[in-house]
Every structure is written in C-alpha cells, then in structure tokens.
C-alpha cells in the first residue's frame, strides 16, 4: 500500500474488500493517516501559519502523500519563509542605517574630522540617503577648512591671526591635534607679546618719568626764581613799613566760576591729593562758629596733629587773635572759606571749600566737640593741610610751630630738663617768665616726655603728646597752670586734678572759676608740670607798639659754613646790628619751613659778637643756646651802642654744606629809626 494518493488507496481498499481480502487493517490505517495529513494541509493553508504549514508539509511528506494540497502548502510555506527573510533583511538594513545616523550625530558633536570621515563612509555602506548626509558633509568641509586655516596660522606665528583662527576652531568645536599645537603656540606668543608690552610700558614709563623729572626740575627752577623774586619784593616791602606782608585772595574772583545756586569746589586740593588715607569726602553744611570760639570746641580725629590742635586751643583763649585767621565775607554762603596763615615770613590767604573727609558721618580728622554744625575746627585744619601740601604733611610737630603759623608770632621753646632750665625752676625765674608771658597775652604750650601717644603715665599724662597751656595763675601761694589735652579727654590725676577734692576748696573754686568736667582740661601745680613735661613752647604775639626789621640770607655753597666746630664757620653770612641808644631787643633767626617739601629742618643757632667795624673777629656777646632743629631760635637781651665795638650777628647750621634760606629779624619797642640790621656786604650803603 505504498501509493500516496488518497483516492487510489481508497479505490484499492474497496477492491480488496470486494475480493474478500481478510487483513486490511494496515491499509485502512494508512488511508486514515493520509486523509488526516491532507486535512492538516488544508487547515494550514487556511490559517497561513508558517509553523502549522511547516508541520503539515513535513507530516504529509513523511507519509508520502501525493496531493495538490501538499504542493500548495509547500509553495505557501516557501513564500512565507521568503517574505520573512526579506523582512529580516529589511530590518537589518534599517538597523544599519539607524546606527549610521547615530554615528553621524556623534561625529558631528565630536568635532573630529576623522570621526566624521568614518561615519560618512559607514553611512554610505549602510545605504543612508544622500540628503541625510549633506549636513555632516558640510560640517566636514568647514572643519577641514578651519583646520587648514589654523595650520596656516600656526605656520605664520601671527598672534592676531592665530587668536582669530583658534577662536573659529573653538566655536566650530574642532577636535584635532592642530588645535592643541595652536593653543600651546598661542600661550607662547601671548607670553612673548606680554613681555614685549611690558618692555614697551617700562620704556614708556621711563620716558614719562624722565619727562616728569625734567618738568619738575624746570618747575623747581621756575619756582625758585619766582621765590627769589618774591622774597626780594617782600624784603623791599618790609623795608618800607616793617610789617609782615599778606598774599591776599579775592573771593569774588574764585566765585566767578560758581553757577547760580551752586557751591565752590576747590580745584587745587582734591581728595586724592589731600590725603593718602581713604575716607569718603562730603560737603559739610553748617556754621563757621557756633556760640563763640572756645578751646573745648576742639576734638582730635584720626590724624596725628595734636601739636596743631593744641596751638588752636591756645589761640581760642585769645579770641581776637584767632578771629584774624578767618577772613570774613559772604563767600562762605557758597561753600568758600578763606583762612589766613603765616608761612615763611608772609601771611597767606588760603581758600578751601567745605568738603571734608568723613567717618561715621562726622569729620574724620579734627572736629568740633561742642557742636556738629560748627566748622571752624576742621576747616582751619584743612587750610593748614592745604598750605603744606596734604593732611599727611601735618602729622607731627611742635606747638610753638602751630602758634607761629596761626598768629605770625615769634616761636621759642624751653627744654625743661637741661641744667639751665633746672636752675631757673629752682630760683623761680622760669615761673616768673611763664607768668609774665601769659599776663602779657603771649601763648604757651607744652610737650610731654617722649613715647608713643598710646602710652599714658600712671598720673594720666599721654606720652609724646602736645598740650595747650590755657591759663597761668598764682593764687594764695599756689603756682598753677591750666592745660588741655586736644583729645578732649585723658586728664591729669595728681594734685589739683578733678579727683583732688581736698585742694579744691570753695575759695579756690571761685578764684579760678573751676569746673569739674571730664573735657581734657585740667589744673596742675607748676612743680608737677616741670616734672611731667619735657618742653615749654612759647609764642610771643607782639603788639603794634613793637618795631621790627628783618634781613634775608641763605646758606648756600661757600656760605653754608656750619658751626664753630669747623674751620669754615667764618664763611657764614654776617649781619651788623647798629643802635642809637640802649635797647632791649628780641632777635629771631628763622630757617625756611620744610614741612610738606620732602626735606627736614636743620639744626640751627646764632651768636652775637662785638667787634670793631669791618673786622670779622670779636668778643662773644650772646648766643641762642644749643643748636636745635626747630624753625626758629631767638635771643632776648639788652644792647648798648659803641661800648666794645659794633654788634655782629652770625647764624649757621650745625654742619657745613646744609643749604637753605633764612631770615633774621629784630624786634624792639620805641622809635623805628633807633635800630638798624643789615648785611655786612651792604655796610657802606648803610652808613653810620
């Protein structure tokens, strides 16, 4: 029964049955299997399922079925398998193209030319459409051009070109070894360029410094000439009337540039020039003087000028003297103040505006302690700073210097610890001198023993500090001085201090108008004063009944001979003093001020000799004491004409070669013609 045809097998089986064949079971089984296999093929064809078709075809072939359904099923299975393989191939192609797209995107982001080239090659192999590769091809083209331009810039070593091309490469995101080379070269070129620029800047600065020095030297020469001319004119003026000249300022000229409703701004003293200290500058509205001028108005600020403030406090006790410092007019209504100060033999009108360095809303330096609206204290300090170039220039000094510059008086100082002063203390002559000076309206100050002004003695005296002497009184045998600390605090704690209740009897309180106030003002006994202070400063303010005559000279070149310790002493300028009658004279030698000039005061002194006319050698008569580096030294003595020869005055610095200008001035009471002081060089012209 090997035939695979169902119909043939069925016909054979029917014939066998008819023939009476007994064993037909195997045939019937085969027929059943073939029928089932054919039905399986029909079912599989109906479903079109590949697995079902594959199983049905395999079964039919195993049974050897020969039927149209087997051929149809085999063809259907082959078609299904072909379509499946095609789909798989299509999926693989799509995956390759998607992978190529991702590679193109990554290569575009990487900025690497080699990555782009590889990605484009893979895209071509993957069959990616051309339009999808155009953007990357354009990027590759740009990067190749940028790389080429960058390579050219590296080869040219042009800094500007390299910076431009490297900027373009960075903007495009180019990642290439040439970028690293370009960056390294750029750093090198920039370093070279910076070095070149520094060299050029140094050369420019050197030329500017040379030009600046040249201009400064020219300006110095010009100013020296102007100063010489000015001094000659001033000397002529002094010879005419014997008075200190005044360099005046016309406020109306300064106010011409101020718009209506505006305020004057000083162009010559801006904040940057005025101080190295950094403070905000603000215009200070207020009133020049509130409730009068008083020592208690003064409070020291962040500037080491206690010596000047002590002088101001002394002057405040002599209100008419201090009021002359302020040139009154209506200019202050527009923020302009004019303050008159003495400097190198001349009163100078100094114009300032009302802008001040401030700290915590108040003037940073000197200020009024009694009224925030009062301006005379900070404005006077500002004018003094301007006259000397800056606030920094007025740190450190002597009270007598400040007193002279505020009054035009005659400065002097007494060292309280030398032998001569100790003798005068013991015999009472120093007290008599201090009392007499105070009673005559002259002004006094003092300096405590050397030290830092952060050091305060057990008795309350600030070390290395300047104090005002406000009053000198002798009551019931008590010799007392009233002093003031410009800080407005830190007072004496010994006898006659505020804490010494036993000394301050009701009678003494009334006699001295004593007030127990912690304001920096205190009383102390003369005996304590000379032990706790090292220097007494004096400023004589002479009245209109005094005559004066001054001469001017200089220690320069050969004439800078130094003191008597040197053979060149005789080369110093000599001046003749001629008198008609016995006179008590005050002679003052004053060297040119050094404050704010960058130089220092020299140690100076002078002596008076008596000699026959025309001779440079004679008998010693008097001297100004030990050489000292103060602005002025003086001699007060009685002089008689004729006896023992004429009087000659010779001043000098301590060491030879110390060059500066100086003045020698004589003061006396009486007729102006009774005393003549002139240079020995003009002796013939002067006559007898």
Task: Return the active site residues.
Answer: 306, 465, 485
Q: Compute how many other C-beta atoms are within 10 angstroms of the C-beta atom of residue 193.
A: 12
358's enclosing H/E stretch is strand 355-359
Structure-block tokens of residue 322: 């201090």
Gap between the Cα atoms of 186 and 180, Å rounded: 10
Q: What Å distances lie between residue 634 and 323, 334, 630, CA to CA?
A: 27, 43, 11
How far CA 361 is from CA of 164, 279, 366, 367, 652, in Å, comes to: 53, 11, 13, 12, 49
Measured CA to CA, the distance from residue 671 to residue 653 in angstroms comes to: 32
> What tokens were used for 283?
């215009």
CA distance 477 to 507: 13
String of DSSP letters for 251-278: HHHHHTTSPTT-----TTS-HHHH-SS-
Q: Which of 528, 423, 432 is nearest to 472 (CA)?
A: 432
Tokens coding 165: 């091309």
What does the DSSP 8-state code read for residue 680? G
Burial of residue 515 (CB within 10 Å: 0-12, 13-18, 19+) is exposed
3-state SS, one letter per residue, for 530-557: HHHEEEEEEEECCCCCEEEEEEEEEECH
Q: DSSP code of 374?
A: B
308-to-61, 403, 509, 623 alpha-carbon distances in Å? 132, 8, 30, 28
Query: What are the φ/ψ torsions at residue 284 (nearest 5 degrees)?
Result: -105, 105
Output Rg (C-alpha) for the chain, integer angstroms: 56
Pairing of strands 632-639, 675-679: unpaired
The DSSP H or E segment spanning 359 is strand 355-359
Phi-psi region of 389 (alpha: psi -120 to 50; beta: other; left: phi over 0): left
Tell me which DSSP letter residue 301 carries: -
Identify each DSSP E strand in 542-617 by its residue range: 546-555, 574-579, 583-591, 604-611
């Amino acid at each position: 029964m090997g035939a695979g045809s169902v119909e043939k097998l069925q016909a054979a089986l029917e014939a066998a049955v008819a023939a009476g064949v007994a064993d037909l079971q195997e045939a019937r089984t085969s027929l059943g299997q073939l029928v089932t296999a054919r039905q399986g093929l029909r079912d599989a064809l109906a479903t079109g399922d590949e697995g079902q078709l594959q199983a049905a075809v395999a079964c039919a072939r195993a049974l050897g079925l020969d039927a149209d359904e087997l051929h149809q099923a085999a063809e259907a299975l082959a078609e299904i398998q072909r379509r499946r393989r095609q789909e798989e191939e299509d999926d693989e192609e799509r995956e390759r193209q998607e992978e190529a797209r991702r590679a193109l995107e990554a290569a575009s982001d990487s900025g690497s030319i080699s990555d782009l080239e590889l990605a484009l090659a893979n895209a071509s192999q993957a069959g990616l459409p051309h339009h999808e590769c155009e953007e990357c091809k354009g990027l590759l083209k740009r990067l190749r051009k940028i790389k080429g331009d960058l390579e050219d810039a590296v080869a040219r070593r042009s800094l500007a070109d390299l910076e431009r091309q490297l900027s373009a490469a960075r903007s495009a995101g180019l990642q290439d070894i040439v970028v690293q080379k370009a960056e390294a070269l750029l750093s090198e070129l920039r370093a070279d360029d910076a070095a070149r620029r520094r060299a050029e800047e140094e050369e420019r600065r050197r030329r500017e410094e040379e030009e600046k020095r040249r201009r400064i030297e020219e300006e110095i020469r010009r100013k020296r000439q102007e100063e010489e001319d000015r001094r000659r004119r001033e000397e002529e003026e002094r010879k005419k009337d014997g008075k200190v000249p005044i360099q005046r300022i016309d406020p109306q000229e300064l106010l011409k540039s101020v718009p209506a409703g505006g305020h004057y701004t000083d162009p010559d003293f801006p904040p940057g020039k005025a101080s190295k200290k950094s403070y905000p500058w603000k215009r200070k509205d207020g009133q020049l003087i509130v409730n009068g001028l008083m020592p208690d108005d003064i409070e020291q600020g962040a500037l080491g000028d206690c010596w000047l403030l002590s002088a101001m406090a002394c002057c405040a006790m002599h209100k008419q003297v201090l009021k002359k410092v302020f040139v009154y007019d209506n200019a202050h209504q527009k923020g302009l103040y004019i303050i008159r100060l003495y400097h190198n033999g001349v009163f100078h009108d100094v114009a300032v505006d009302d802008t001040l360095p401030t700290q915590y809303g108040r003037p940073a330096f000197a200020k009024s302690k009694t009224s925030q609206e009062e301006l005379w204290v900070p404005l006077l300090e500002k004018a003094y700073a301007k006259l000397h170039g800056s606030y920094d220039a007025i740190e450190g000094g002597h009270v007598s210097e400040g007193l002279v510059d505020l009054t035009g008086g005659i400065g002097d100082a007494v060292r309280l610890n030398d032998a001569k002063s100790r003798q005068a203390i013991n015999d009472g002559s120093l007290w008599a001198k201090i009392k007499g000076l105070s009673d005559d309206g002259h002004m006094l100050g003092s300096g405590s023993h050397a030290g830092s002004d952060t050091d305060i003695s057990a008795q309350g005296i600030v070390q290395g500090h300047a104090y005002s002497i406000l009053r000198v009184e002798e009551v019931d045998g008590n010799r007392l001085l009233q002093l003031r600390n410009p800080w407005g605090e830190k007072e004496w704690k010994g006898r006659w201090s505020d804490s010494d209740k036993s000394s301050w009897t009701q009678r003494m309180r009334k006699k001295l108008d004593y007030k127990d106030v912690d304001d920096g003002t205190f009383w102390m006994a003369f005996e304590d004063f000379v032990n706790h202070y090292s220097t007494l400063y004096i400023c004589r303010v002479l009245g209109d009944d005094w005559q004066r005559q001054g001469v001017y000279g200089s220690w320069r070149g050969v004439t800078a001979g130094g003191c008597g310790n040197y053979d060149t002493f005789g080369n110093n300028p000599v001046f003749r003093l001629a008198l008609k009658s016995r006179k008590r004279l005050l002679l003052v030698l004053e060297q040119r001020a050094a404050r704010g000039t960058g130089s220092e005061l020299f140690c100076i002194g002078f002596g008076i000799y008596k000699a026959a006319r025309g001779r440079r050698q004679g008998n010693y008569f008097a001297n100004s004491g030990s050489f000292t580096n103060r602005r002025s030294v003086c001699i007060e003595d009685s002089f008689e004409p004729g006896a023992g020869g004429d009087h000659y005055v010779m001043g000098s610095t301590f060491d030879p070669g110390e060059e500066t200008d100086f003045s020698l001035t004589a003061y006396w009471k009486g007729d102006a013609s009774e005393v003549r002081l002139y240079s020995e060089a003009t002796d013939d012209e002067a006559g007898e």
